[in-house]
């Protein structure tokens, strides 16, 4: 058996629920959230990834470059 | 055999079912694609199946592709991807997973985007994991784009290929113009069959040789120079004299091209054996004997004689069809020879072909 790299994902239809659980849905709707990498404005349409940084929860836009920067910093980990 | 029949009659359908379950668990990877097709059929009935269909499709496509590449060049794509959907997560749980990132997967109408993003997210940890930190940033990106393009081409997924080019590669090139040049080089090498057979192989071993040393500009320079050398090799005209050796601090390899007909008539394989001997005396660790069409026999004979005379060891012999620099599709052979046995030689070393 080959080792696996686990990539955690949220499906479009569960996105609202997950954002509410994390307490960032209202901020996102109010337009108060920016991409942690390119600083562009992030809304429900262009949200690409969610991740913790320090004591905060950050998001990135759906630009491939931003997602890759966020994920290569350690999104994935190996498991048997 | 009679024991097996006795056992089956004793346990009947239950026993058979147990065997099927065990086989399913052991060979789960082989069942990934049919499972994804099944979910695809059921997807229109239920939302949960829709999610499972997306997950199974992405996993089966990426995993079967990565297994193919890893079979060709072991340890270049040693992992499978496992997509795990999160539905309920609280803040504390997310904060606990220090390196956790939750990637968004869109609805089925965006399948092309999903596979591209999933693959590009997987690539930095899934493609050449050992060498990755020593690669130049542009080269790392170009390798990922080339690998992703290969995956999408193998799936004949035109809309995803368009998305990759228009929405991802083109904007990336605008930011880093150098990326365009490297992507073109890797594309040309892939067209000629040298991307996986030589470039990935050498870069994989580069990581192993560097070991766990602190990544420096020296490492990145060497990988950049290696790709530039491979470009010179792939664009050389027939009978053009180019330097066929690359000797860096960690990458040490060369080519022996077979195909100068009048030389073959005069000297046969002896000329190429001398070339291997010359490379070995210069400390080149690995040589690739390359030939096409009618010269394939001479290439095989040269490799056989080199091994017989203990000049080198055959590591891998691959015959394939590829497009040459004039655009013609021709039969090629590439024979990887280990000239100097080193502790960092590829894991296939020693297997006789």
CB contact under 8 A, B107 and A76: no
Nearest CA in chain B to A11: B105
The string of pLDDT tens digits covering residues B206-257 is 998 887 788 889 999 999 999 999 999 988 887 778 888 999 999 999 999 9
pLDDT of residue B27: 72
What length is written for chain A?
Answer: 80
Domain residue limits, chain A: 4-79
Q: What is the pLDDT of residue A80?
A: 35
Q: How much is the pLDDT for B232? A: 93
Interface test with B, best of A6, A38, A67, A76 (most B CBs within 10 A): A76
Q: Where are the alpha helices (DSSP H) in chain B?
A: 2-26, 28-42, 47-72, 91-96, 111-126, 137-155, 158-163, 170-175, 177-191, 194, 201-210, 217-235, 261-267, 270-281, 296-308
Q: pLDDT higher for B46 or B294?
A: B294
Distance from CA of B329 to the nearest CA of A (A): 34
Taking residues B251-273, what's their average pLDDT? Answer: 82
Whose structure tokens read 């998305």? Answer: B163
Share of chain B above pLDDT 70, in %: 91
The minimum CA-CA distance between B280 and chain A, rounded to whole Å, is 36
Asked whether B120 and B144 are in contact (CB, 8 A), the reply is yes
3-state secondary structure B291-303: EEHHHHHHHHHHH
% of chain B with per-residue pLDDT over 90: 45
CA nearest to B276, candidates B244, B311, B304: B311
pLDDT at res. B346: 57
Domains along the sequence of chain B with CATH: 2-186 (no CATH), 237-353 (3.30.110.20)
Q: Is the pLDDT of residue B2 over 80?
A: no
Question: What is the pLDDT, as a whole number, of residue A79?
Answer: 37
pLDDT tens string B88-131? 877 777 777 666 888 899 887 778 888 998 898 889 889 999 99
Q: Is the pTM of this model over 0.90?
A: no
Q: Mark which residues 65-94 of B lie under 8 Å from A by CB.
A: 67, 70, 78-91, 94
- For B295-307, what is each residue's pLDDT tens digit? 899 999 999 999 9
Rounded Cα distance between B231 and B186, Å, is: 8
**Cβ contacts (< 8 Å) between A75 and chain B: which residues?**
99-101, 103, 121
Quote the pLDDT of residue B185: 95
- The three-state secondary structure class of B100 is coil
Considering only B6-20, B233-247, B287-301, B305-319, which range has the smallest mean pLDDT?
Answer: B6-20
A70 CB neighbours in chain B (<8 A) are: 101
CB contact residues (below 8 A), chain B span 306-335, against chain A: none
pLDDT of residue B184: 95
- B102 with A76: Cβ contact below 8 A: no
pLDDT in tens, A20-66: 988 889 999 998 899 988 899 999 989 999 988 877 888 999 888 88
Q: For residues B106 and A75, is the Cβ–Cβ distance under 8 A?
A: no
Residue B153 has pLDDT above 90, yes or no: yes
Mean pLDDT of B181-187: 95
Under the banding of pLDDT at 50, 70 and 90, the label for residue B262 is: low
Quote the pLDDT of residue B240: 79
Which residue of chain B comes nearest to A52, CA vs CA? B95
pLDDT of residue A78 exceeding 60: no
- In angstroms, the separation between the Cα of residue A54 and the nearest Cα of chain B is 8
10 Å CB burial of residue A16 (0-12, 13-18, 19+) is: middle
CB A10 within 8 Å of CB B101: no
Question: B150-164, B235-249, B338-352 — which is least confidently predicted?
Answer: B338-352
Of the two residues B227 and B15, the one the predictor is more confident about is: B227
Write out chain B residues lying below 8 Å of A73, CB-based.
Answer: 99
Q: What's the rounded mean pLDDT across residues A4-32?
A: 89
Q: ipTM score of the complex?
A: 0.89
Q: What is the pLDDT of residue B303?
A: 93
Token pair for B157? 């997924």
Buried b (16+ CB within 10 A) or exposed e, B274-309: ebbeebbeeebbbbbbbbbeebbebbbebbebbbee
More confident residue, B35 or B261: B35
- Residue bearing tokens 């069409």: B293
Work out the average pLDDT over B307-325: 89
CB of B215 within 8 Å of a chain A CB? The answer is no
């Amino acid at each position: 058996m080959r080792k696996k790299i686990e990539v955690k994902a949220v499906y479009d239809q569960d996105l609202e629920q997950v954002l509410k659980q994390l307490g960032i849905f209202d901020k996102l709707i109010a337009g108060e959230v920016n991409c942690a990498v390119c600083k562009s404005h992030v809304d429900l349409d262009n949200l690409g990834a969610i991740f913790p940084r320090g004591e905060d929860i950050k998001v990135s836009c759906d630009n491939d470059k931003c997602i890759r920067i966020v994920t290569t910093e350690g999104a994935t980990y190996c498991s048997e | 055999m009679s024991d097996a029949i006795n056992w089956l009659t004793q346990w009947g359908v239950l026993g058979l079912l147990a065997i099927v379950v065990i086989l399913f668990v052991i060979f789960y990877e082989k069942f990934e694609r049919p499972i994804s097709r099944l979910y695809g059929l059921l997807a229109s009935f239920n939302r949960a199946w829709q999610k499972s269909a997306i997950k199974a499709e992405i996993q089966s496509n990426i995993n079967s592709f990565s297994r193919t590449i890893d079979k060709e060049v072991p340890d270049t794509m040693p992992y499978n991807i496992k997509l795990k959907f999160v539905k309920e997560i609280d803040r504390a749980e997310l904060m606990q997973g220090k390196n956790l990132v939750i990637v968004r997967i869109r609805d089925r109408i965006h399948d092309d985007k999903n596979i591209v993003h999933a693959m590009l997210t997987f690539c930095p940890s899934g493609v050449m994991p050992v060498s990755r930190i020593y690669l130049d940033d542009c080269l790392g990106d170009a390798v990922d784009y080339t690998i992703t393009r290969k995956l999408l081409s193998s799936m004949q997924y035109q809309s995803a290929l368009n998305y990759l080019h228009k929405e991802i590669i083109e904007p990336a090139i605008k930011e880093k113009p150098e990326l365009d040049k490297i992507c073109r080089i890797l594309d040309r090498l892939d067209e000629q069959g040298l991307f996986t057979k030589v470039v990935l192989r050498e870069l994989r071993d580069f990581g192993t040789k560097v070991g766990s040393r602190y990544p420096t500009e020296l490492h990145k320079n060497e990988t950049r120079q290696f790709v530039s050398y491979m470009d010179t090799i792939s664009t050389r005209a027939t009978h053009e004299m180019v330097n066929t050796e690359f000797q860096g601090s960690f990458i040490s390899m060369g080519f022996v091209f077979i195909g100068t007909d009048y030389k073959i008539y005069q000297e046969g394989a002896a000329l190429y054996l001398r070339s291997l001997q010359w490379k070995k005396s210069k400390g080149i660790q690995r040589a690739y004997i390359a030939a096409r069409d009618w010269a394939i026999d001479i290439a095989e004979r040269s490799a056989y004689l080199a091994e017989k005379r203990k000049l080198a060891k055959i590591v891998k012999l691959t015959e394939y069809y590829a497009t040459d620099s004039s655009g013609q599709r021709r039969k090629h052979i590439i024979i990887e020879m280990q000239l100097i046995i080193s502790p960092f030689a590829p894991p296939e070393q020693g297997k006789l072909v």
